[in-house]
Chain A
Amino acid sequence: MNLLQSTLNNAFISISRNKLINFLSFGIIAFTLLIFGIFNYLSYSLETFANEFSKNIEAIFYFKDNVEQPEIDLLLKKLKESLLVEDVTFSSRDQAEIAFSRQFPELKYILSEFKTSPFPASIEVKFKQEYNIGTKVISFIEDIEKLSIIESKQVNLDWAQKVMAIKKFISLVGMFLSMILIFVSAFIIFNLIKLNIFYRKEEINIYRLVGATDWYIKIPFIIEGALLGFFGSIMACGLLFITLKLFPAYATFMYNIFKDMISFKNIPLILFLRLLLLGTGIGLLSSYISVRQFLKN
């Protein structure tokens, strides 16, 4: 217990010693994580939005002319078994013809020109309206469309697909930016720890000569890095919260649509958890590397 206490003490002492540079690295970590958090949140919101938009999804798949009934039955069975599907209706070529003539009685004479029904057989699929399955439904539909027995499809989903594309793009940009910033933060912490090691060289030397273990000397520096990352991420969580609360007010004023599109109401807790883990992780890892490099002996 005493060992742990003095270790923590040392870490705090050395954080409070180099206030400026500590503040700087603290700031850059907070900024990095804020950017990471904002992009994370944006892609989360867009996905939520896409999911909401893709409620009431209905898709009609038209079969090719030469498709045999067993193949159709197989697909029907597969669709009925899918957890995403609410209801499936098959209509044969003849049924399509009947439906047509019922809907447009004055055009009935056209049909008599054909020996067999000119309409393709089709299945109409109604998807479940559960929250959060929209994106899964989209890829499910894409999979079915690729089947060799399907000629074409008709879906009320264009919007959701576009939103998903935007989401993918934003995730990519966010990942790229975050990676650069994470690297910069790690580099700064690495150097900060290096500086602290050199600053405490005399003390470290004395500790070694009076019989301190390697870990006794190393751990405070690693903890220092982890603490920096941890507090940086707490700061980032606060900033993220404020940003996400303030921005909608501005957005309402500027673009009403945009505000509707991105639901700022609920910020997922997992996002904050992710920030905390990432921040602490960055701090821990970069200080560990620094210690390995500069506290060899």
Chain B
Amino acid sequence: MIEFYHVFKQYVKDQYALFDISLSIQKGEFVFLTGASGAGKSTLLKLIFKEELPSKGQILVNSSNINLIPQKELYLLRRDIGIVFQDFKLLANRTVYENVAIPLVVRGEKKSAIDKMVIKVLAQVGLSHRKNYFPTHISGGEQQRVAIARAIVGNPKIVIADEPTGNLDTELSIEVFRIFEKINANGITTIIATHDLHLLNMFPKRTLKLEQGKFTSSTPTGPAEVTL
């Protein structure tokens, strides 16, 4: 489903954000990506949806080499991946409902279909009562859940979240992780970057650990089935 072959990433010369990364994540897996701040977590995630390009190495997503996807067809890859950004990336001048609807609107879906899906995912993340609010008028935890709702509204095959509990207290963080577990239970491959060790212990899943751009020696980079 997602495979990295000897991937390197340099933003600046002689400095590797990622160094010789190989990994394989199976369809439907739940994977944590962990490591200190600056270890390369965000970079690794951005490579998956081609927001950044690798300096070296090959990346396969849904068995297509994303290096070879032309700019004009990049949208097809993006439609397969739901992304929860570290900074949420919600539009301040749109309501919760409108923000969540964006991925469907850009696909040209019918209004009725959009309405059905948005209502459904807002209920799923427990935000039905906030649908007409603007992002600035709801709490950080709620904004986080709006971002999650937007990531899953388009029925993606993969959901990626970059430190989704970064600004939340423990109780809200657990709630958010429960939502991801439910998403994963529907067969969606789920990859979450976090450095919250407490939560990692509470949710024992396959964990990839980065240290200065490399996987630590104890990190099993193959699919979970193989390592168990």
When the two chains form their complex, are residues A209 and B83 in contact, meaning their CB atoms are under 8 A apart? yes
**B116 on the A face (CB < 8 A):** no
**A142 on the B face (CB < 8 A):** no
Q: Quick check: which of A106-114, A179-187, A210-218 contacts chain B, the rest being far away? A: A210-218
**Nearest B residue to A206, CB-CB:** B89
When the two chains form their complex, are residues A2 and B110 in contact, meaning their CB atoms are under 8 A apart? yes
**How many A residues touch the partner, as a band?**
10 to 19
**Nearest A residue to B114, CB-CB:** A2
Residues B4-55 near A (CB distance < 8 A):
49, 51
**B218 on the A face (CB < 8 A):** no
When the two chains form their complex, are residues B109 and A213 in contact, meaning their CB atoms are under 8 A apart? no
**Nearest B residue to A3, CB-CB:** B108
Q: How far is the CB of A254 from chain B (nearest CB, A)?
A: 55
Given A212-B75, A214-B71, A214-B72, A207-B106 contact (CB < 8 Å): yes
**B78 on the A face (CB < 8 A):** yes
Q: What is the predominant secondary structure among interface residues of chain A facing chain B?
A: helix
When the two chains form their complex, are residues B78 and A208 in contact, meaning their CB atoms are under 8 A apart? yes
**Nearest A residue to B83, CB-CB:** A209
Which residues of chain B have C-beta atoms less than 8 A from A205's C-beta?
89
When the two chains form their complex, are residues A211 and B105 in contact, meaning their CB atoms are under 8 A apart? no
**How many B residues touch the partner, as a band?**
20 to 34
Q: How far is the CB of A26 from chain B (nearest CB, A)?
A: 24
Q: How far is the CB of B53 from chain A (nearest CB, A)?
A: 11
**A6 on the B face (CB < 8 A):** yes
Which residues of chain B have C-beta atoms less than 8 A from A212's C-beta?
75, 106
**B129 on the A face (CB < 8 A):** no
Given A211-B76, A213-B75, A214-B71, A206-B102 contact (CB < 8 Å): yes
| Closest 3 pairs between A and B when the two form their complex, measured CB to CB | A211-B79, A212-B106, A3-B108
A-B contact pairs, 24 of them (CB 8 A): A2-B108, A2-B110, A2-B111, A3-B108, A6-B105, A202-B89, A203-B91, A208-B74, A208-B75, A209-B78, A209-B85, A210-B79, A210-B102, A210-B103, A210-B106, A211-B76, A211-B78, A211-B103, A211-B154, A213-B72, A213-B106, A214-B75, A216-B108, A297-B71
Q: Given A3-B108, A209-B85, A213-B72, 8 other A-B contacts at CB below 8 A? A: A2-B110, A203-B91, A206-B91, A207-B102, A211-B79, A211-B107, A213-B75, A214-B75
